[in-house]
Amino acid sequence: MMDNIFLNGMKFYSYHGVFQEENKLGQIFIVDAVLSLDLKEAGSTDDLEATINYGEVYDLIDQGMKEPSKLLEHVAERISTVLFSKYHRLEEVKIKITKQNPPIAGHYDGVGIEIHRVR
C-alpha cells in the first residue's frame, strides 16, 4: 500500500484547446495531483530528502501548464513524465486537469481528464 502526497485545486491560466479561440484567449484550468510513494522514512526521520518537496512539484506542474497543447491528455502526460524523471522515489502519479469553461453548450462545473501512471 502506497502513501500519497496531494496538491489539490491548483489554478493556472493557460492556453490549451482544439479551437483557435481557446488558444488565443486562454482560460483557468484546475489541476489536482496525487503522488504515491513510501513516506515511512520521511515520517520517522523528519528529513525532506526522504520525501518529495511540494513546492518543487507545484513549479514543475506550473511549467507543464504554461506550454500550450491542443489536448489536456498531452499536458497531463507531459507533467507525469517530468515528475517521474525528477523523483526516483515516485511510484505512481495521478494528474487531473479540469477545464471549467470549455466551448461546449450546457450546464456543468467543468470537463477534463485524469490519468494514472505507474513507474
Query: What is the CATH number for 70?
Result: 3.30.1130.10
How much is the average pLDDT of 30-40? 98
For residues 22 and 1, what is the distance between their CA atoms, to the nearest angstrom? 40
For residue range 5-29, list pLDDT tens digits in order: 999 999 999 999 998 888 889 999 9
Query: Any idea of the CA torsion for 99, 31, 62, 83, to the nearest 10 degrees?
Result: -130
Check whether 103 has a pLDDT greater than 80: no
Check whether 102 has a pLDDT greater than 90: no
11 has catalytic annotation: no
Annotated catalytic residue, options 24, 94, 96, 99: 99
> How does residue 107 score in pLDDT terms, banded at 50, 70 and 90?
confident
C-alpha to C-alpha distances, 11 to 3, 58, 73, 89, 101, nearest whole angstrom: 24, 10, 17, 26, 13
- Comparing 106 with 92, which gets the higher pLDDT? 92
- Number of folded domains that form the chain: 1
> How does residue 1 score in pLDDT terms, banded at 50, 70 and 90?
confident
Contact 17, 39 (CB under 8 A): no
- Of all residues in the chain, what percent carry a pLDDT higher than 90? 82
Contact 110, 99 (CB under 8 A): yes
Range of the domain at 112: 3-118
